[in-house]
Amino acid sequence: MNKTHRGLHPRSKVDEYTSKGWWSEETIDQVFRTQVRVRGDELAVVDPANRSELSGGDPRRLSWNQLDSEVISLAARFSEVGLSRGDVLGVQMPNTVELVEVYLAAWSLGVVVSPLPMQYREREVEGMANQAAFAAFVTVPSFGDRLPATEIAAIRSRIPSLRSVFAYAPASELPAELPAGVDGLSPQAATETQRSELDRRNTEDPNDPNDAMTICWTSGTESEPKGVPRSHYEWLAICWATIDAPDIVVDDVLLNPFPMVNMAGINGMFLPWLRTGCVLVQHHPFDLRVFLGQIEAERVTYTVAPPALLWMLLADESMLAAVDLSSLTRIGSGSVPLQPPMVRGWQERFGIGVINFFGSNEGISLLSSPADMPDPDDRARYFPRFGVENFHWSTRISDWMDVRLVDVVTGKDITEVGQPGELRISGPTVFAGYLGDRPSPFDERGFLCTGDIFEIAGDHGQFLRYLDRGKDLVIRGGMNIAPAELEGLIAEHPAVADVAVIGDPDEVLGERVAAVVTLRPEAELELDALVAFLKDKRIASYKLPERLEVRKELPRNSTGKILKRELRQKSVA
């Protein structure tokens, strides 16, 4: 039994952050119980509209009281098989009502949730299960044409720590027979005995906010994924960023299209819903027709979407004309640089402010909101530089975070505009360290070394501008080129739907710039035309692509990030 995920942060840090009011003794399960008391019979969570296509069942809609009852029942059944505080529960489920229940039931017992994307197969699941020593695993009996419960049963013997495997779904979706060693569970209302027992446990042995709540996983775009334990303290601190920026309130309806496996899904949607008590509408897997239909049918007020999708929608007049988006008042986006014309287009045509987010599982949380940056061009390009004198930002975490840029060669702090450096952060949103025997990600001053390259910008040095991942840089003839900068410019070309910039090996220069793109329907693009387009942007000539490759699609991992290692492998072959 693995009980190593207790007390993640030293007492000195806990005392410092609690004395400043950045952390409190509150835990996620307490937040949920508060919403149940306050919201009661109000609508809480809604299934994907296409659930029947995913699992064969009908979509469900639960009030806070109904959700609470099923959570208590599930927690009781977890407890019956011996799951308790500090155990790790692997979870591989689509965005459904039941996924919400599994998380809340586990956390009510102090069990650590380790969520895995549905795209992961046996190899990835086995590796992560053994890294984190999963005590139990919850999945679904079927997902489209896959049988996830059967998949985990096939590798169970190769995960020594695994004591229990569950298939959790409504009774109508559970097959008559499950694989050997897999127990079927279906949502049920709690008994009074189950409710009393959980109340007793919460009173006599409440959760510790310094204990791990999740073990999420880095996306593994360049190397083996790393486990990222995060405590109640950290999650409850960082969620204020994704509440404050879109100004989420109890009357909002959130549409969640991101898998609830990392910062985007958990902190971008799940925690703001839980903290404010609004309505959470689930969506999975991404389907544009279903997504737009849910906005209209559920009267969604806030959602998040990838930049490429927002750009594509803006250019598709017929699609926008066919759906009522009048309830939508703001949209979150990010993960890659936003195109200024896209952000400006949504604001000028629809009055919708696109919020620019930049985050990580480790605890980065930069955000550009309309309140702080009314100019959409600024909002697309920049993030607030927390801590600059005479500048106050609307999100409360801006007063909690210590942010600096460091020259990756000299190790000296950068304070001048326009000089690239690694972003390093410290504060109550930052995790304590990776799972297992991994090198420390912190520098000698205790700052998280993010590996992300930014530069200071703005007339008063009040902004940060993202350049690229440090290890993503293309180095051509000794000159550093940030692919993300080029990708943002190339994405503005009317023929381009998606883009990745990589370095081609070169014996003389080290690397040469290559652009790999997908094109819009019926569009064509040649290298000369792309170079001419970029020259009009007045960029340095050494940044111009020397090779253009057109593909039908770009390889992506389960969280949507482009797998540049696959592009590089194929470009070298």
CA distance 505 to 507: 7
The predicted model scores a pTM of 0.85
Contact 104, 72 (CB under 8 A): no
Beta bridge partners of 229: 215
pLDDT band of 124, cuts 50, 70, 90: confident
415: Cβ contacts below 8 Å, ≥ 6 apart:
456, 461
User: Is pLDDT at 160 greater than 70 in this prediction?
Assistant: yes
pLDDT band of 28, cuts 50, 70, 90: very high
User: Is pLDDT at 239 greater than 60 in this prediction?
Assistant: yes
% residues pLDDT > 70 (the chain): 96
Please give the mean pLDDT across all residues of the chain: 92
Beta bridge partners of 247: none
What number is the average pLDDT over the span 17-39? 97
Q: Quote the pLDDT of residue 542.
A: 78
Residue in the block written with tokens 């690239």: 420
Lowest mean pLDDT among 25-39, 65-79, 404-418, 546-560: 546-560
pLDDT tens-digit map of 47-84: 999 999 888 899 999 999 999 999 999 999 999 999 99
Contact 230, 276 (CB under 8 A): no
Residue in the block written with tokens 């919403």: 35
Q: Quote the pLDDT of residue 421.
A: 93
Q: Quote the pLDDT of residue 223.
A: 54
pLDDT tens-digit map of 358-413: 999 999 999 999 999 999 999 999 999 999 989 999 999 999 999 999 998 789 99
Q: Quote the pLDDT of residue 307.
A: 84
Q: Quote the pLDDT of residue 477.
A: 66
User: Is pLDDT at 308 greater than 90 in this prediction?
Assistant: no
Closest residue by Cα to residue 279 from 259, 263, 295: 295
Lowest mean pLDDT among 141-155, 283-297, 303-317, 491-505: 303-317
Q: Quote the pLDDT of residue 2.
A: 43
CA distance 284 to 100: 13
- Which tokens hold the place of 366? 């930069």
Task: Kindly report the backbone phi and psi dihedral angles of residue 504, in degrees, each rounded to the nearest multiple of 5, phi listed first.
Answer: -90, 130
Beta bridge partners of 206: none
Closest residue by Cα to residue 327 from 283, 279, 284: 279
CA distance 95 to 272: 16
